[in-house]
Chain A
Amino acid sequence: MRSSFFGLNVGAQGLYTARTNLDITGHNISNADTEGYSRQYGVQKAQTPIPYTTRGMVGTGSTIERVDQYRDSYLDYKFRDIQKNVGEYTQKHEMLQQMELIFNEPTEVGFTSHFDNIFKKLQKLSTDTADFASRTSYIDTVKSFTKYLNDAATQLRDLQNEANFGIKTEVDSINTLSEQIALINNQIGNLELTGDKANDLRDERNKLIDKLSKVVGIDVRETKDVNGKENVRITINGQSLVNGNVAHKLKVVPRKNLNNPEDNPDLYDIKWETGRNFYVTDANLRGELKGYMEIRDGNNLNNFKGKVMGTTAALPGATPPVAGTVTVSNTPKDIRHDLPVSGTVKIDNKIVEYTSYSYNDTTKEVTFTLKLPTTPSPTAKNVEIGDSVGFKGIPYYMQKLNQFCRTIAKEFNKIQEAGDGGTGIPFLVNKGYTGTPPLDINVDSSYDKITVDNFSVNDKIVKDVSLLKTKSSDKEGESANDLIMKLLDLRHDNTMFEIGEPDNYMQGLISELAIDTNEINSFKTASAQMEVMVKNQKLSVSDVDLDEEATNLVKYQRAYNMSAKIISVFDEIYNVTINQMGV
């Protein structure tokens, strides 16, 4: 037998439902502009009916079973997948643009103008070799050319430090984000044990994960633990970053040795705080972190590489102790021989320290003297220094510039040293060049000490311009200019570089940078457009629409009014029953 106040209860139930719906709508409206907020809705349901005599069941009104949110986890996945590209390309593009500015092309003060000027002054000098002013102005022009290259090197180094600092910042933000995610994971787990859904906390967590996905490529998985506690697991390169309420932290460690000979000292390596290795070169590592990393370390796969040709064992007991050596060659290609004086070398992926190295010009082999008492493995095959990074980053351009400086120096010196019956001294040298050990035009490796950082005109010639040789024979008169003519020919010497004339080399380098920047820019634009598209898809599902909410507002208000009407109807009924039927 149903209660006499059954109808009143149904009305009251309607009031509650409408009221809850109005609350949800209000919550939606007030969060319409909250970032990362997903609109919520009440899951409304008819209450369990009760049997009504023999004529069937009668409904007992409605109820809000739970509050849920509109969210598509597939779109979340897709969005994060794109975010890692956006992060990587945005950082790369920004850094590459800065690199472009360093070269200052195409302007009147870029490389081309500087190089043009040298040959202009040489032409002038060729027509008046004895003129003191022509000599001085030629030397000054070469000086400002070397200064331009030195400046470019300094700026590239600054940029590398900037990228390095960027890496540290990214690591910090990974740590902060992972910690926050772990915290929210814990809260959600606890709250949801009751079976309810912690919508707003989930939004908060998703927002953090979205942020993280821009910093580094991550893998996100929702799991349930044995207690039925829901949580999110995040991994980088398969290594766990967040697991439930535990966040694994990363740290940066300054390198003791240079990876690329062109690198700045004290660049950071990334490691897990537990001491495990963090695989920076992994192809799946994306995001801003990779952007910075490749700009900082990119050497276009051209790090020191070779195969072991022979080893000698260390004899620590001998007096004096004898260090082990390993001899490396890279046939048929030329082996790099411009290495840090001492550092580390990877022999079959095992890192070993070396105290010195030597290069044999005839056999094209490099021999490392390892730190005592290391004995190199005689069966070792591959030897490497640093990592092969397949991107044209700062080390790549530094290396190219070094090669340019060394080649130009050698070609100029070759002509200069032939002056006045072979009495000329080197013209282009490393800063502070004393003559010992000498720059020998016949020994390639002697020019290794010239780098784009220290490239300069020999101080002795700057101080005494008469040391600048213009003729090959000291028996000739002052106006003989055969050497200057030879220098002028260098400009169109297409055997100087693999790519041809010196102009081609540098223009090629600038074009490479331009094409890369252009390409990265189009990747960036494409992924940004993709991001907007997916974001819109996400919004389409989750975003609060004010028109919709306004409709709901009206709808639920009406529902509330009607429920109130029901109560008032039953009230009248009870009035009749109680007051007028007169018991």
Chain B
Amino acid sequence: MRITNSMITNTMLASINRNKQIMSKLDRQMATGKKVEKPSDDPMVTARALKFRTSVSEIEMYETNAKDSNSWMSISEQAIKNTNEILKRMRELANQGANDTLTSKSRKAIIEEYEQLKEQIMSEANVSYAGRRVFSGYKTDNDLLFDKQVKEKYVIQEVFTSENVEKIEKVYNNRIHDVHRIRLGYKEVVESTPAGTIEGFTVVTKSTADADAYAPSATTVHLIEDTGELIFHKDDVANIPEPLGFSYQKNTFEKGDPKPEHYLHSTNISKSPSEMYNKFVGLTTTTGAVAGGTLDAANQVVIDKDTLLIDGEYRMVGTTTADTVELQKKDGSGTWQTIDTAAIDTTTGEVGFTVGTEKVEIQIEDYTAGDFTAVTDILNFTTAFDASHKQDSMEYQVSYSQTIQVNTMGFDVFTQNMIRDIEEIISYNRGIKDDGSTDDDLKKSLTSKEFNKFIGQLDKHIDNVVNQETKIGAKVNRIELTLSRLKEDNLNVTKLLTQNEDVNMAKTLIEFSSHKAVYNQALAASGQIIQQTLLDFLR
């Protein structure tokens, strides 16, 4: 092939340029420390780099979450430990109190300390982490226990089982009597509107000032408002319905009282619009027999879960006006009591009633206009609450598709029974007036027995608290394991990331030097070739 001067020059320039390109690339790699600058430099490395980066950022976030949950749980753990100490101190004092020889003055001192300790429990229950109450479930902005006396009206519904019926000793009429009672969640309660009913019983409102407060006649239940008790006649105990739903109202709360919204199915009726707190898993309704009209089995009743339609048998009865119905509830004696009358929305089948202070929305499925036209058109249904508490589970993501519940529900630790038990021992002792009456002497004689009973109750509460503490401890362990694994993961992925995209400096440097040597050689050779033509040798 014929080679000309410009060809040599062109080829040489092209080679030198190629060399320069490689050197510039290596130079850039050394300066940035990265193998790729643009995705197209190496699409595979880029794709992997993006994936690794995402992994690292995720792991870092999981670590933050795990640390955060650790702090949260440590705070809860400490509060529970403190509570345990308080309960132990109470038990010590109760041991002293159970001593028959103790004077009433010394017992007063114990009671005074109890009051202090109760306040201490309140501050533990309301403990917060970064401004959020740790025991209040999702309602982190809301104390678990009242931190001062407040006048707020709550309608409360409680559900009891036969386990809640207890036999206690009460002193009245100069004698010690056996009394069968159900203890409500609060003392100082009042009758709700409409009044709470118990199927098969007549409920009568009483106060401890009434001489017959603890002696109801058969098929009568006494609601003692100041102590918050339901008293049954001894012959009726076997007839108590199971489960038993009862509603009542409370207008004033003392410092240290549990807030109803954290413990019970309740409505705060002093707030407008009323705040509904549903602490139960759900409401079940059963549609019973359908009598008359064109109603059929498809006309199921759907009730908003949050309504305060208390347990029982209900029915909707037609009126002479088409599509207008009465809501009726069967009372304790088996008579249907009308609650409210309202018209049905014929397109949606919805009907709204006012029950007490609460608006209740009921929907009748598959409703067609004219289904209710006469008093013979009746739709029966029953309601029942699931009494189990709803766990507000605050979940943190601490690993790939792995979450951990960081919070402990306050009602599991600071149980309503615990607070009521402490309250009762205090009020029992406060009830001794030292007036020399027979009743008072009898009460005094029962004091050590009461303290012994309290010791038994405290033991149960301590067991429960220790149990909760153990649960948290186990979770803290799990988190610590997770944390160390996350640290390792982070290290591994970061290593992979580095291997994938970072430049091997030694290798690059050697490559650079060898290209540089070639480049220098090429320059030197070019200088020689370009200078020489035949003309240089002609004279």
Chain A contacts to B: CB under 8 angstroms: 32-33, 96-97, 100-101, 103, 105-106, 112-113, 115-117, 119-120, 123-124, 126-128, 130, 471, 475-481, 485, 488, 492, 503, 507, 510-511, 513-518, 521, 532, 535-536, 539-541, 543-548, 550-551, 554
Specify the chain A residue showing the minimal Cβ separation from B34: A106
Closest to B275 in A: A475
Closest to A547 in B: B534
- CB-defined A-B contacts under 8 Å, sample of 16: A97-B38, A116-B54, A119-B61, A123-B62, A126-B65, A126-B395, A126-B397, A471-B138, A479-B392, A503-B50, A511-B46, A514-B40, A518-B41, A518-B43, A536-B7, A539-B10
In the complex the two chains form, is A485's CB within 8 Å of B4's CB? no
A546 and B535 form a contact (CB under 8 A): yes
A511, B306: Cα distance in complex, Å: 52
Chain B proximity of A491: nearest CB distance (Å):
8
Q: A478, B141: Cβ atoms under 8 Å?
A: yes
Q: Report B-chain residues with C-beta under 8 Å of the C-beta of A515.
A: 40, 43
Give the residue among A106, A507, A543 with the most B Cβ atoms within 10 A. Answer: A106
Q: Is the CB of A123 within 8 A of B397?
A: yes
- Residues in B with CB closer than 8 Å to A488 are 397
| Highest count of chain B CB atoms <10 Å: which of A101, A103, A478, A548 | A478
Kindly supply a per-residue 1/0 record for chain B positions 261-280, scoring 1 wherever the CB is within 8 Å of any chain A CB and 0 otherwise. 00000000000000011100
- Chain B residues, Cβ within 8 Å of A113: 53, 57
- One of B129-137, B186-194, B509-517 contacting the partner: B129-137
For A101, the chain B residues whose CB sits under 8 A away are 38
Knowing A477-B139, A521-B40, the reply to whether A485 touches B61 (Cβ < 8 A) is: no
Contact B11 A536 (CB under 8 A): yes
- Which 10 A-B residue pairs are closest in the complex by CB-CB distance? A477-B139, A477-B138, A514-B39, A517-B40, A514-B43, A480-B138, A545-B4, A550-B534, A543-B4, A116-B57
Nearest residue (CB) in B for A106 is B49
Question: Cα distance A536–B7 when bound, in Å?
Answer: 6
Binary contact readout B27-70 vs A (1 if CB under 8 angstroms, 0 otherwise): 00000001010111111001101110110011011101100110
- Chain A CB within 8 A of B142 CB: yes
Provide the B299-339 mask, 1 if CB < 8 A to any CB of A, else 0.
Answer: 00000001000000000000000000000000000000000
Chain B residues near A514: list those with CB within 8 A. Answer: 38-40, 43, 46-47
The reply on B298 being an interface residue by CB < 8 A is no
Number of interface residues of B (CB under 8 A): 60
Instruction: Tell me whether B140 is interfacial, beta carbon within 8 Å.
Output: yes
Known contacts A100-B38, A478-B139, A550-B533; A540/B3 CB under 8 A: yes
- Point out the residues of chain B lying under 8 angstroms from A550, CB to CB: 533-535, 538
A482 to chain B, nearest CB (A): 8
Does any Cβ of A come within 8 Å of B524's Cβ? no
Q: How far is the CB of B33 from chain A (nearest CB, A)?
A: 13
**Is B501 part of the binding interface, using a Cβ–Cβ cutoff of 8 Å?**
yes
Contact among A123, A480, A510, A546 for B65, CB-based, below 8 A: A123
**Bound: A478/B261 CA distance, A:** 14
Do the beta carbons of B39 and A100 come within 8 Å of each other?
A: yes
Contact indicator A479/B139 (Cβ below 8 Å): yes
Tell me the complex Cα distance, A97–B39, Å: 9
Cβ contact within 8 Å between B138 and A478: yes
Q: Which of A32, A112, A513, A517 contacts B53 (CB 8 A)?
A: A112
Interface of A is mostly: helix
Residue in chain A with minimal CB distance to B3: A540
| B403 within 8 Å of A (CB atoms) | yes
Given the known interface contacts A116-B57, A492-B401, the answer about A476 and B50 at a Cβ–Cβ threshold of 8 Å is no
Quick check: A96 and B4 within 8 Å, CB to CB?
A: no
Inter-chain contacts of B501 with A (CB < 8 A): 106
B14 at the interface (CB under 8 A from A): yes
Bound CA span A476–B65, Å:
22
* Closest Cβ–Cβ distance, residue A188 to chain B (whole Å): 26
Choose from A123, A511, A540, A547 the contact partner of B39 (Cβ within 8 Å): A511
User: Which residues of B have CB within 8 Å of A106?
Assistant: 34, 36, 39, 46, 49-50, 53, 501
Contact A126 B139 (CB under 8 A): no
Name the distance in Å between A422's Cβ and chain B's nearest Cβ.
14
Chain A nearest Cβ from B161, distance in angstroms: 26
A103 closest partner in B (C-beta): B39
- Binary interface encoding of chain B residues 113-148 relative to chain A, with 1 for a CB under 8 A from any of its CBs, else 0: 000000000000000001010001111111000000
B403 and A485 form a contact (CB under 8 A):
yes
Contact partners of B238 in chain A: CB under 8 A: none
Q: Does B2 contact A (CB under 8 A)?
A: yes
Q: Does B1 contact A (CB under 8 A)?
A: yes
- Minimum CB–CB distance from A179 to chain B (whole Å) comes to 30
Residue B5, interface by CB 8 Å: yes
Least CB distance, B157 to chain A, in whole angstroms: 16
Residue contact A503 to B39, C-beta cutoff 8 Å: no
Known A477-B137, A492-B401; contact A510-B395, beta-carbon cutoff 8 A: no
Q: How far is the CB of A50 from chain B (nearest CB, A)?
A: 39
Check if B4 sits within 8 Å of A97, measured CB to CB: no
Closest Cβ of chain B: how far from A302's Cβ, in Å?
A: 22
Instruction: Kindly state the separation between the CA atoms of A478 and B132 in the bound complex, as whole angstroms.
Output: 10
Q: Are B139 and A518 in contact (CB under 8 A)?
A: no
A477 and B7 contacting across the interface, CB-CB below 8 Å:
no
Given contacts A127-B68, A475-B306, A485-B403, contact A546 B5 (CB under 8 A): yes
Is B392 in contact with A477, judged by CB distance below 8 angstroms? yes
Whether B491 is near chain A, meaning CB under 8 Å from some CB there, is: no
Task: Decide: A507 and B43 in contact? CB cutoff 8 A.
Answer: no
B1-32 with Cβ < 8 A to chain A = 1-7, 10-11, 14
Query: Is B109 part of the contact surface with A, judged by Cβ < 8 Å?
Result: no
Taking a contact as CB atoms closer than 8 A, the residue among A475, A481, A543 that contacts B7 in the complex is A543
Docked-complex contact A130 and B10, CB < 8 angstroms? no
When the two chains form their complex, are residues A33 and B533 in contact, meaning their CB atoms are under 8 A apart? no
| B103 → A minimal CB distance (Å) | 48
Find out whether the CB atom of A123 lies under 8 angstroms from the CB atom of B64. yes
Complex Cα distance, B54 from A116, in Å, reads 6
Q: CB-nearest residue of chain A relative to B390?
A: A476
Interchain CB contact under 8 A, B276 and A475: yes
Residue of A whose beta carbon sits closest to that of B45? A106
| B390 CB to nearest chain A CB (Å) | 10
Distance in angstroms from A138 CB to nearest chain B CB is 13
B394 at the interface (CB under 8 A from A): yes
Give the shortest distance, in Å, between A82 (CB) and chain B (any CB).
Answer: 15
- Bound-state Cα–Cα, A159 to B98, Å: 90
- The answer to whether the Cβ of B396 comes within 8 Å of any Cβ in the partner chain is yes
Of A100, A478, A513, which one neighbours B140 at CB under 8 angstroms? Answer: A478
With A100-B39, A120-B60 given, name 12 new contacts (CB 8 A).
A32-B5, A106-B501, A112-B50, A127-B65, A477-B392, A478-B138, A479-B394, A492-B401, A503-B54, A532-B11, A541-B2, A547-B534
Tell me the minimal C-beta distance from B532 to chain A in angstroms.
9
Among candidates A117, A126, A127, A518, residue contacting B40 with C-beta atoms closer than 8 Å:
A518
Given known pairs A479-B138, A541-B2, the reply for A513 and B54 (CB within 8 Å) is no
Q: How far is the CB of A486 from chain B (nearest CB, A)?
A: 11
Choose among B10, B38, B501 the residue with the greatest number of A CB atoms under 10 Å from its CB. B38
